[in-house]
Amino acid sequence: MSKDLKNGVRRGDGEPEDRWNVIILDLAFQDGMRFLSEAQYQHVAEQVRELAREIDPTHPITQRVAAIEDFFELKEKGGPLGKINVRVFFVVDKPRVAIVILGAIFKQNDGPTPFGDKKRMQRRKRKYLGGEYGEVTRTGNVSRSETGDEKNGGS
């Protein structure tokens, strides 16, 4: 059985305290590790943790976030990332007080998010909401599922 979902941040942890749970699709982790070093991944993870400390992660004070269709993208570049322009896609699951990380890309142009990436994230969002990656309790804890294998249904 694959681990389709994992808890990244638990609400109430951290200093300052995290206001949101962070749930990460294993596919999103794999996306990031395709183009980020371990140190760069840790930097991006810290940016996501900063989102978890915000009152409204869709309108943060400390990061750049934009609405894309029916989900959001965290924009990060420079610093430890060098010339890498990262986009981390997420959706807010308000009943579970969770930021759900759908995926990440190395954006190579200054234009809009590529159409194929948008469609892939919409599909992941739909599968997450349908429980195909596993179940998430109201408190944001992940329970495992046997379904959601993207090899058998596309990402």
Give domain limits for the chain: 5-148
Is the pLDDT score of 153 beyond 50? no
Least confident stretch, 9-23, 90-104, 140-154: 140-154
* Cβ partners under 8 Å of residue 17, min gap 6: 53
Instruction: Give the tens place of pLDDT for each residue, 20-70.
Output: 999 999 999 999 999 999 999 999 999 999 999 999 999 999 899 999 989
User: Which candidate, 47, 145, 146, 135, places its Cα nearest to that of 96?
Assistant: 135
**Mean of the per-residue pLDDT values of the chain:** 84
**Under a CB-based contact definition with an 8 Å cutoff, are residues 7 and 22 in contact?**
yes
pLDDT grade, residue 151 (50/70/90)?
very low
Which residue blocks in the chain are alpha helix, DSSP H? 26-33, 38-52, 115-129
User: Counting beta carbons within 10 angstroms of the beta carbon of residue 4, is it exposed (0 to 12), middle (13 to 18) or buried (19 or more)?
Assistant: buried
d(CA 135, CA 138): 10
User: Which candidate, 121, 103, 99, places its Cα nearest to that of 50?
Assistant: 99
Q: Report pTM.
A: 0.84
Instruction: Give the tens place of pLDDT for each residue, 96-119.
Output: 899 999 999 998 877 888 899 999
Beta bridge partners, 92, equal 99
Superfamily of domain 5-148: RelE-like (3.30.2310.20)
Look up residue 133 and give its two tokens. 């990656």
pLDDT of residue 108: 81
